[in-house]
Amino acid sequence: MLELKPVDRGNWEEALLLKVKKEQEHFVPSVAVSLAKVYIKPDGEDVEYLPFAIYAEGMMVGFIMHAFEEQNDNMYWINGFLIDEKHQGKGYGKRAMIEMISWIEERFPHSRETRLTVHQENQRAAVLYKRLGYLPTGDVYDGEIVYKRERIQ
């Protein structure tokens, strides 16, 4: 069983210990940087950030964050997504993405799409996202390729 639980005062220190393989570090921000965004709001005051720890069979295996502007129907982002190096290759990434997409669509029924960015060298992530219905938009944000997935009605 895989589940998403909010990162809070009970699990934030464990979340900070999550890390990707050395060669993947430039693909994704650390959990600390992602958690800092919750407070700093680098994308503007209207953007809300919701960080989640990814648990499999009761063990924290990764991190994923949802960022959104509720007044818009196309500003629902998934970012800061990582599976800890010790737990990669077990299907947790795909399952966590499916869970996050479902969570967003249930919580925000007016959302038309979800978006994310992919480092252009991160081919494994690009393949996963394409399998889940994400396609490149042609836009670039902060040096990364923007992908979007239309909501399936």
Res. 129: pLDDT tops 80: yes
Token output for 100? 């996050």
Residues 122-141, mean pLDDT to the nearest whole number: 95
Res. 127: pLDDT tops 80: yes
Tokens 């038309």 found at? 112
What would the pLDDT profile of 61-119 be if each residue is shown by its tens digit?
999 999 998 777 778 999 999 999 999 999 999 999 999 999 999 999 888 899 999 99
**What residue spans of the chain are helical by DSSP H?**
12-16, 31-40, 92-107, 123-131
- Beta-bridged to residue 119, according to DSSP, are none
The pLDDT, as a whole number, for residue 151 is 87
The pLDDT, as a whole number, for residue 72 is 78
Res. 47: pLDDT tops 70: yes
